[in-house]
Amino acid sequence: MILDVQEILKADGAKIPVKCEIEPSAELLKSDMTFSEVLFSGELENIGGVLELRGDVKGKFTVPCARCMKETEQSFEAEVFETLAKEDAEISDRDAIIPFAGTSVDLGEAVWPSIVLTLDSKYLCQPECKGLCIHCGADLNESPCDCKDDDIDPRLAGLADLLQ
């Protein structure tokens, strides 16, 4: 969402409440996650010509289970605290600043990093997910397969001979 900040830039200490839906960033659209209902609620404040964005973001997404590949719905919540400044502003710590040009700010650009930092690298459809059989690909959550698991680590093959 593009937000016009022309009025807030005129007065130091000015605040505006922000409540909106955030669209996924282009990088996340390429991932296996599908986001829906990403809602941001907070405020934008002018502090000496630098804008402070504070608030909370909540949403849902679907992602394949890391073990069985079934789609699973997950939810997330994140706190957002970002600093935005005009590209030509003299700021000492440029690493923590999100630059913007003109009188408009892309809230998605400011909010998505906070979301990405709260996400896990893997999600399961259920904590006890058994996954897929490594031999035949059967879903072990639905039923056990008939595959024999007699692969023996070659370093321990000598011990297996003793058991026969």
pLDDT at 148: 78
Task: List, for residues 75-134, the tens digit of each pLDDT value.
Answer: 999 999 998 887 766 665 555 788 787 788 888 888 988 998 999 989 999 999 999 998
Pairing of strands 50-64, 2-4: unpaired
3-class SS letters over 54-93: EEEEEEEEEEECCCCCCEEEEEEEEEEEEEEEECCCCCCC
Give the bridge partners for 78, in sequence order: 57
Do residues 102 and 150 share a domain?
Answer: no
Do residues 65 and 84 share a domain?
Answer: yes
- Give the three-state DSSP class for 17: strand
Minimal CA–CA distance to 98: which of 44, 158, 36? Answer: 44
pLDDT at 94: 56
145 pLDDT band, cuts 50/70/90, is: confident
Task: List, for residues 18-35, the tens digit of each pLDDT value.
Answer: 999 988 876 666 778 899
Do residues 113 and 162 share a domain?
Answer: no
Q: Confirm if 23 and 36 have CB atoms less than 8 A apart.
A: no
Displacement of CA 124 from its chain's centroid (Å): 16
pLDDT at 91: 60
Do residues 164 and 90 share a domain?
Answer: no
Do residues 60 and 123 share a domain?
Answer: yes
Do residues 93 and 71 share a domain?
Answer: yes
Look up the domain containing 144 and give its range. Answer: 130-164
Do residues 123 and 141 share a domain?
Answer: no
Do residues 41 and 91 share a domain?
Answer: yes
Q: Domains in the chain: how many in total?
A: 2
**Strand runs labelled E in the chain:** 2-4, 15-21, 34-47, 50-64, 71-86, 97-100, 104-106
pLDDT at 37: 86
Do residues 61 and 113 share a domain?
Answer: yes
